[in-house]
Amino acid sequence: MSLASWYQLIIFSWQSFWRNIWLSIVTITIIVLALVSINFLVVLNVITDTAVSLVQEKIDVSVYFKQTVTEPQVLEVKTYLASLAQVDDITYISQQTALQAFRERHQQNTAIIESLEALDQNPLGATLIIQAKSLDDYPEILSVLDNSKYNELILDKNFEDHAAYISKLKNISDTINRIGILTAAVFIFIATLIVFNTIRVAIYTHRQEIGIMKLVGAANWFIRSPFLFSGIWYGIVATVFAVAIMFPLLKVMQPPLNAFFLTADVSLAAYFRQHFWQIFGIEFLGIILLNAVSSFVAIRRYLKV
Amino acid sequence: MIIFKNITKLYPPNTTAVKGINLHIKPKEFVSIVGRSGTGKTTLVKLLIAEEKPTEGRIIVGGWDITGIRSNEIPILRRQIGVVFQDFKLLTKKTVFENIAFALQVCGAKRSRIQEIVPQVLKIVNLSGKENRYPLQLSGGEQQRVAIARSLVHRPKILIADEPTGNLDSFNTREIIDLLLKINEFGTTVLLVSHDREVVNYVNKRVIALGDGQIISDQKIGKYII
């Protein structure tokens, strides 16, 4: 195809876009809504991921050993656990340190302190505090421990309460994601229908020009392509608008987010800037592809050449 | 140049537009196709520009059998056949120059070629100086001349004029017919479809008369006899 043909193609598609400006505005608005809803899904993902990782940082499993278990035995268990791929970090708290911490925690309570004094030996066992690499790893680590030869050394483990919290958090996060995906899917579906209808109306509006084009021997692809290109214009303009809308919105959302997480470490705008091409590039390509398919179907159906 | 071999065109459910048409038009001929409304004149035009396909028979244009023409070949055929209609088919929002240039633009012509050809065809149809007017600022005859100019940009071997004077007064009618005769003199085969007795008699060339979808007369130098 010659350069002149490309030039004419772009000019004709732009004319088609511009001459049906109100229709184009409606189409772009719906595509922008679809893109913004997808971006909110991204925001929700960032928020839930942050929430999960913040909770995860605070979660650990404490393995309490029997009072009779010696320090070398505990350290052997520590070495064993450290060799597991799922384990991120292990802190050893000796019997002595545990006792000291217990005393400090209850120093106002004279009854407890006096009871401790009355005992000839340290009633507390050593503790190992385990942090896993991921939330899903905790049950596995505990299962390995339960089935090992060290199980009989262990007095108690305190993971169950946390498991309930994590499970609840994950459920909420999954539900939010599902709602987000559904909303985005609805908008994408509507956007596809609107693009289809817009191309149909554009074909109807240009029926006289199309008739003349056919009469004077314009190639079929040349008649069809401007409508296909119109879909690309919609994609370009809609993506630009989506970017222009998202960043101010992210700025507005930031202060309540900081207040919620009690930290200013999570920056939505920074996340969107870092992943700009992954987010908007993929959205742009997706919308172009969707418009192209929708336009192609409309052209096949309504543009007889 | 144009050969119709036993052409029949049926439209469902049971309309016969043309039946058993056998026709041979030589290069550089001027042929008037006459007949009352509904006798199949426009169907012949549609078959010739591959807007319709025949139910039976074969059509050969310039040695090319277009009976089973593929859709991607139709534009090539149409660049070799100029067509003008009664209703001009001009774009009212484009100027005279733009209307003519449009026929070249949609075929991917370069700007320099457009700038060269459009003034040439405007000169042939005697519209030089009116290139910046809009169709609605022109008389009917001038609009038809713009349409003829547009049909000439690809230097077609055949020019089909389907009732080109149907919307014109007698003065403009004469001008258009003279223009078609001039184009024919330059070597283009002209097919004039008309039901205007005066026009056909004025041309005084080969006349093919249609009735009920069939050829009822074919005179070398003919008159409108129906």
List B residues 49-108 in contact with A (Cβ-Cβ < 8 A): 49, 71-72, 74-79, 83, 89, 91, 102-103, 105-108
Do A120 and A207 belong together in one domain?
Answer: no
pLDDT value for A162: 64
Do A72 and A129 belong together in one domain?
Answer: yes
pLDDT value for A107: 83
Among residues B175, B169, B170, B127, which one has the least CA distance to residue B152? B127
Q: The CATH number of the domain where A77 resides is what?
A: 3.30.70.3040
pLDDT value for B83: 93
pLDDT value for A1: 63
- Averaged pLDDT for residues A32-59: 82
Q: Report pLDDT digits (tens) over A21-34.
A: 888 888 888 889 88
Question: B71-97 burial by CB neighbour count: b if 16+ within 10 A, else e?
Answer: eeebbebbbbbbbbbbebbbeeebbbb
C-beta atoms of A222 and B103 within 8 A: no
C-beta atoms of A217 and B75 within 8 A: yes
Count of CB atoms situated within 10 Å of the CB of B14: 6
Question: Where residue A304 falls among pLDDT bands split at 50, 70, 90?
Answer: low
- Averaged pLDDT for residues A176-181: 81
Residue A146 lies in a domain: no
Is residue B139 scored above 90 in pLDDT?
A: yes
Do A82 and A175 belong together in one domain?
Answer: no
> Scanning every residue of chain A, which has its alpha carbon at the shortest distance from the alpha carbon of B84?
A215
Token pair for residue B28? 């550089």
Do A196 and A280 belong together in one domain?
Answer: yes
Between the ranges A139-143, A151-155, B40-44, where is the mean pLDDT highest?
B40-44
Do A26 and A64 belong together in one domain?
Answer: no
- Averaged pLDDT for residues A108-118: 82
Q: Which of A134, A157, A185 is the last residue of a domain?
A: A134
Q: What distance in Å separates residue B50's CA from the closest CA in chain A?
A: 10
- Respond yes or no on whether ipTM tops 0.90: no
pTM over 0.80: no
Q: Report pLDDT digits (tens) over A50-85.
A: 877 777 777 788 888 888 888 898 899 899 989 989
C-beta of residue B148 within 8 angstroms of C-beta of residue B71 = no
Question: Where residue A138 falls among pLDDT bands split at 50, 70, 90?
Answer: confident
Question: Where residue A163 falls among pLDDT bands split at 50, 70, 90?
Answer: low
Helix residue ranges, H only, chain A: 3-19, 21-58, 71-82, 95-105, 110-118, 137-146, 160-205, 207-215, 220-261, 268-274, 276, 282-302
Q: Report pLDDT digits (tens) over A209-251.
A: 888 888 888 888 888 888 888 888 888 899 999 999 999 999 9
C-beta of residue B104 within 8 angstroms of C-beta of residue B151 = no
pLDDT value for B3: 96
| Chain A residues within 8 A of B78 when measuring between CB atoms | 214-217
User: Domain count of chain A?
Assistant: 2
Do A121 and A264 belong together in one domain?
Answer: no
Do A129 and A67 belong together in one domain?
Answer: yes
Residue A238 lies in a domain: yes
Do A75 and A43 belong together in one domain?
Answer: no
- Averaged pLDDT for residues A282-295: 84
- Averaged pLDDT for residues A110-124: 81
Residue A199 lies in a domain: yes
Question: Where residue B29 falls among pLDDT bands split at 50, 70, 90?
Answer: very high
Do A242 and A102 belong together in one domain?
Answer: no
pLDDT above 70 covers a percentage of chain A that reads 96
pLDDT value for B16: 92
Domain regions of chain B by residue span: 1-217
| Chain A residues within 8 A of B105 when measuring between CB atoms | 4, 8
C-beta atoms of A218 and B153 within 8 A: no
> Scanning every residue of chain A, which has its alpha carbon at the shortest distance from the alpha carbon of B111?
A4
Q: Which of A80, A115, A134 is the last residue of a domain?
A: A134
- Name the architecture of domain B1-217: 3-Layer(aba) Sandwich (3.40)
Do A18 and A83 belong together in one domain?
Answer: no
Residue A162 lies in a domain: no
Least confident of A106-110, B81-85, B91-95, B213-217: A106-110
Domain that holds residue A17: 3-55+167-302
Do A174 and A283 belong together in one domain?
Answer: yes
Residue A266 lies in a domain: yes
Looking only at the bridges linking them, the beta strands covering B64-65 and B214-219 are unpaired
pLDDT value for A92: 92
C-beta atoms of B150 and A216 within 8 A: yes
